[in-house]
Amino acid sequence: MKRILSALALSTALVTPAFAQDTQVIGVSIPAATHGWAGGMNYFAQAAITRLEETYPELDFVLATASDPARQVNDIEDMLATRNISALVVLPFESEPLTGPVQNVANAGVWVTVVDRGLSVDGIEDLYVAGDNPGFGRVSGEYMASMMPDGGDIVVLRGIPTTIDNERVAGFEEAIEGSGINILGMEHGNWNRDTSFEVMQDFLSRHSQIDAVWASDDDMAIGVLAAIEAAGRDDIQFVLGGAGMKEMVQRVMEGDTMIPANVTYPPSMIATAIEVTALGVVSQTPVSGEFIIGSVLVTQDNAEQFYFPDSPF
Amino acid sequence: MTTATLSPRKLQMSVIGPILALVILIILGALMNPNFLSAGNISNVLSRSAFIGIIAVGMTFVITAGGLDLSVGSMAAFVAGLMILVMNTALPVMGVGIPIVLLGMAVALAAGLIAGLLNGLLITRLGIEAFIVTLGSMGIYRSLVTWLADGGTLSLDFTLRTFYQPVYYGGLFGVSWPIIVFAIVVICGELLMRSTAFGRHCAAIGSNDQVARYSSVRVARIRLLTYVMLGILVGVATIMYVPRLGSASSATGLLWELEAIAAVIVGGTALKGGFGRVWGTVIGVLILTLIGNILNLTDLVSPYLNGAIQGAIIILAVVLQRERKPGQ
């Protein structure tokens, strides 16, 4: 094992002789691409690492993707034990199981950046980068209210029952309060196209007049649109998704009346976290604190800035 | 035990149990929402039952012959992904038309056949437990589809999807294609199980494979055939699934294997093998789909509890047929 490690060190030394003495390693631990958003996040993590390795030859990155929390814990322990990382960027699979292991990393004197899902104990991380879930719901709700000044009847598709979903829905409900918009029904579409297709079919059987749909996610919006199209219903004026999937942003850009807008929850926030962490490692720029990435309303006017044709999401 | 069930005695609980559960569900649904029995809703429910239903018919044979297949959900996702990739790649050459759809269908059937054959060969020729082999292939196919999609979603070209869509949404005389295909698969399955040597051999192997072997049943070959048949049926289900949303991702077909197995058992097939009932499987699939449909049509319980209701009804439907084991 020792021989392999020294061989590795030797090969690194040969590739980058000038900086071999003070190469710093940044570990990046993220969930595997198990759904669309996570796929985008993996893509942006790779892209950021490629860019940074070119820009800063003195930086080395270790990227590990885990398909469950237990594997992510193993990844992080391995990084600390064998790769001698000086900073860790982690998007926890789940808050609870990852809190202890990440705390150990922090106690070892390693810089810790936590992304999107917070840990269950405060003050472990040096930097926290996250999206704004209540804001995501609020922006969506405000848009709905502005599109339906006289009120109307809507149905809502929710994600997988989690804090993220609860915060979004709470923000949404707060924003539409007093606007005359009436929620006919809410069901969980689990951020899944097939489930949302079936849930929307049943909503359509149940309610003869629906004015608009808050699908709250672009994967769910695709299922909803297919169900509406198949039923041949024309009472629904528009569907509002969210998260900024490229196909949907494209439809916004082209002025599709069924998809007039989108609300971002960018998977590229992982790139923000990696870039800022790298900046802190290579320079004396202070980067500790919180970095909350706001949810932005995407309409036809600004859609072009949010369209990334190369991203898988 | 098995002979008692097969004998034509009337009004056995094992026979009326699942039907009774289905009838109760239908009455409940009709009472709770007037739209439940509308033609549109019935068509929706039957069409969406078709995927799991077609797979569950194949699963009935596998389980009857004493086997199990956990890989069908992942396999469906992989076959769907492969089909979309092949069709998108062939599009510039072949253009939109019937040939390219036929190519896609052929790819799905061939991929299903090969996947089923691999499972079957590992189980019968190498003698590895079906549970382990299919648990392994479940992980393999799920990873492969994630890899093919680069972590995202594979989408069928838009014009192609529009052309192919009638295979899910269209139909004959107002009955949609998935329902027609499901019905044909069920009728063939029922005939195969009841009236052919193959069906009887499956049951014989499932109840005692040693005895079956001494009775000159070609145990390995019959078992292999059940997995191949299931693989082909996964291909058939995928042919119906792809035109619905025109996409496949790592979330496609999640937990279909458990739904298919649950449908088979709710329908009265013995999990340990030896006895299988294709029509029962159909009832099982309908029960499972109807629960979700009724819960969506009413506000009776918190959506957080949907899984609990489903679980309770699955157990109840099996409790209703307990009379099958009078000796206990």
Name residue, tokens 């040597």: B197
CA distance A183 to A53: 49
A309 domain residue, yes or no: no
The pLDDT, as a whole number, for residue A8 is 46
Chain A: closest CA distance from residue B250 (Å):
6
Per-chain mean pLDDT for chain B: 88
- Identify the sign of the CA torsion A31, A33, A37, A41: positive
A116 domain residue, yes or no: yes
The pLDDT, as a whole number, for residue B10 is 55
CA distance A58 to B205: 65
Contacts of B252 in chain A (CB under 8 A): 194
From A31-35, A227-231, B44-48, the region with the lowest mean pLDDT: A31-35
Contact (CB, 8 A) for A49 and A40: no
A158 domain residue, yes or no: yes
Whether residue A272 is found in the same domain as residue A215: no
Mean pLDDT for A138-153 is 92
CA distance A155 to B310: 23
Phi, psi of A57 (to 5 degrees): -65, -20
Q: Which of residues 89-108 of A touch B (CB under 8 A)?
A: none
Q: Is the pLDDT of residue B321 over 60?
A: yes
Residue closest to A65 by CA, chosen among A214, A307, A270: A270
B2-57: per-residue pLDDT in tens? 444 444 555 677 778 888 889 988 998 898 888 888 888 899 899 989 999 999 99
Mean pLDDT for B273-300 is 89
Chain A: closest CA distance from residue B224 (Å):
32
Helix (H) or strand (E) holding B248: strand B247-249
Domain boundary among A246, A263, A280: A263
pLDDT above 70: percentage of residues in chain B = 95
Whether residue A150 is found in the same domain as residue A118: no
CATH of the domain at B133: 1.10.3470
B243-275: per-residue pLDDT in tens? 988 888 888 888 899 999 999 999 988 888 889
B53-94: per-residue pLDDT in tens? 999 999 999 999 999 999 999 999 999 999 999 999 998 888
Q: If DSSP codes are grouped into helix, strand and coil, which group holds residue A288?
A: coil
Question: Do the Cβ atoms of A36 and B247 come within 8 Å?
Answer: no
Phi, psi of B57 (to 5 degrees): -60, -45
DSSP states of B264-326: HHHTT--TTSS---HHHHHHHHHHHHHHHHHHHH--SS-GGGHHHHHHHHHHHHHHTTGGG-T
Question: Do the Cβ atoms of B297 and A194 come within 8 Å?
Answer: no
CA distance A180 to A309: 38
Question: Do the Cβ atoms of A38 and B155 come within 8 Å?
Answer: no
CA distance A72 to A117: 14
Whether residue A22 is found in the same domain as residue A111: yes
Residue A115, domain extent: 2-131+267-294
**Residue B252: what residue type?**
T
Whether residue A30 is found in the same domain as residue A98: yes
Contacts of A206 in chain B (CB under 8 A): 33, 35, 296-297
- Identify the sign of the CA torsion A33, A133, A297, A174: positive
The pLDDT, as a whole number, for residue A17 is 41
Reading the block at residue A150, the tokens are 């006289």
Q: Which residue of A has its CA nearest to B34?
A: A206
Is any Cβ of chain B less than 8 angstroms from the Cβ of A193? yes
A27 domain residue, yes or no: yes
Q: Which of residues 153-172 of B touch A (CB under 8 A)?
A: 153, 155, 169
Helix spans in chain A (H): 2-15, 36-55, 69-82, 95-107, 133-147, 163-176, 193-206, 218-231, 246-253, 269-282
ipTM of the complex: 0.76
Is any Cβ of chain B less than 8 angstroms from the Cβ of A290? no
Is any Cβ of chain A less than 8 angstroms from the Cβ of B195? no
Winning range, highest mean pLDDT, from A16-25, A97-106, B182-191: B182-191
| Structural domain total, chain B | 1
The pLDDT, as a whole number, for residue B224 is 95
Instruction: Closest CB to B41: pick one of A36, A38, A205.
Output: A205
Q: Is the pLDDT of residue A21 over 80?
A: no
Predicted confidence band of residue B241 (pLDDT cuts 50, 70, 90): very high
CB contact set of A190 (below 8 Å; sequence gap of 6+): A159, A160, A196
A98-107: per-residue pLDDT in tens? 888 898 899 8
The pLDDT, as a whole number, for residue B323 is 59
A103 domain residue, yes or no: yes
CATH of the domain at A157: 3.40.50.2300
Whether residue A194 is found in the same domain as residue A257: yes
Q: Strands A212-214 and A238-240: what pairing?
A: parallel
Whether residue A106 is found in the same domain as residue A200: no
B3 domain residue, yes or no: no
Provide the CA B28 distance to its chain's centre, in angstroms: 25
| Structural domain total, chain A | 2
A to B CB pairs, distance under 8 Å: 91
CA distance A297 to A277: 27
Bigger pLDDT: A296 vs B305: A296
- Count of CB atoms situated within 10 Å of the CB of A18: 7
Whether residue A221 is found in the same domain as residue A174: yes
Whether residue A212 is found in the same domain as residue A276: no
Residue closest to A289 by CA, chosen among A277, A301, A278, A300: A277
CA distance B279 to A182: 44
Contact (CB, 8 A) for A295 and A71: no
DSSP states of A154-222: EEEEE-SSSHHHHHHHHHHHHHHTTTTEEEEEEEE-TT-HHHHHHHHHHHHHH-S---EEE--SHHHHH
CA distance A260 to B116: 45
Instruction: Closest CB to A33: pick one of B48, B146, B299.
Output: B146
Report CA-CA distances (Å) from B5 to A119, B269, B284: 57, 11, 18
Q: Is the pLDDT of residue B161 over 50?
A: yes
Report CA-CA distances (Å) from B222 to A18, A143, B124, B133, B219: 66, 61, 10, 18, 5
Whether residue A93 is found in the same domain as residue A169: no
B2 domain residue, yes or no: no
Reading the block at residue A97, the tokens are 């199981």
CA distance A252 to B123: 51
Q: Is the pLDDT of residue B193 over 80?
A: yes
A312 domain residue, yes or no: no
Contacts of A198 in chain B (CB under 8 A): 44, 48, 292-293, 296
Whether residue A119 is found in the same domain as residue A87: yes
From A2-16, A167-181, A205-219, B301-315, the region with the lowest mean pLDDT: A2-16
Predicted confidence band of residue A11 (pLDDT cuts 50, 70, 90): very low
- Count of CB atoms situated within 10 Å of the CB of B146: 24
Whether residue A120 is found in the same domain as residue A165: no
The pLDDT, as a whole number, for residue B327 is 47
B328 domain residue, yes or no: no
Query: In DSSP terms, which residues pair with B171 in a beta bridge?
Result: B176
B78 domain residue, yes or no: yes
Query: In DSSP terms, which residues pair with A263 in a beta bridge?
Result: A297
B1 domain residue, yes or no: no
Residue B60, domain extent: 13-321
Whether residue A57 is found in the same domain as residue A203: no
B105 domain residue, yes or no: yes
Per-chain mean pLDDT for chain A: 86
**Residue A247: what residue type?**
E
CB contact set of A274 (below 8 Å; sequence gap of 6+): A26, A28, A45, A48, A49, A52, A89
Chain B: closest CA distance from residue A213 (Å):
16
